[in-house]
Amino acid sequence: MLFSPCLEIETFFFTAGTLGWSAIVTLSVAYTVVTIACMVVLTAVSYRGLARVNWSGVDSHWLDHNEKRLTGGILIVLGILIFFIKL
């Protein structure tokens, strides 16, 4: 549900719509709580993983200067991979 939330959740909202406003509100609250919890957990895991990396051998000036290029390159590679890999 994190990668394409609109596709999965719309079916649940259509079904909840037939049950009334209380079902829609319950679904909205549950979906919001689950989404925020997943984002917090993924951020915490990423932070712990980065804390274990030994940054002493990395030239921080190079990273500061090329951070936008590095991020752009990663996004392009991920986009190409997602385009060609069907799950």
Tens-place pLDDT, residues 22-75: 999 999 999 889 889 999 999 999 999 888 887 777 677 777 788 899 999 999
Whether 5 shows a pLDDT value over 70: the answer reads no
Whether 7 shows a pLDDT value over 80: the answer reads no
The residue segments making up the domain with residue 13 are 5-61
**Domain count of the chain?**
1
The answer to whether position 83 is within a domain reads: no
Instruction: Using pLDDT thresholds of 50, 70 and 90, give the confidence band for residue 9.
Output: confident
More confident residue, 77 or 86: 77
The answer to whether position 12 is within a domain reads: yes
Instruction: Report d(CA 1, CA 87) in Å as an integer.
Output: 15
The two structure tokens encoding residue 22: 């209380």
Alpha-carbon Rg for the chain, nearest whole angstrom, is 20
The answer to whether position 67 is within a domain reads: no
More confident residue, 61 or 4: 61
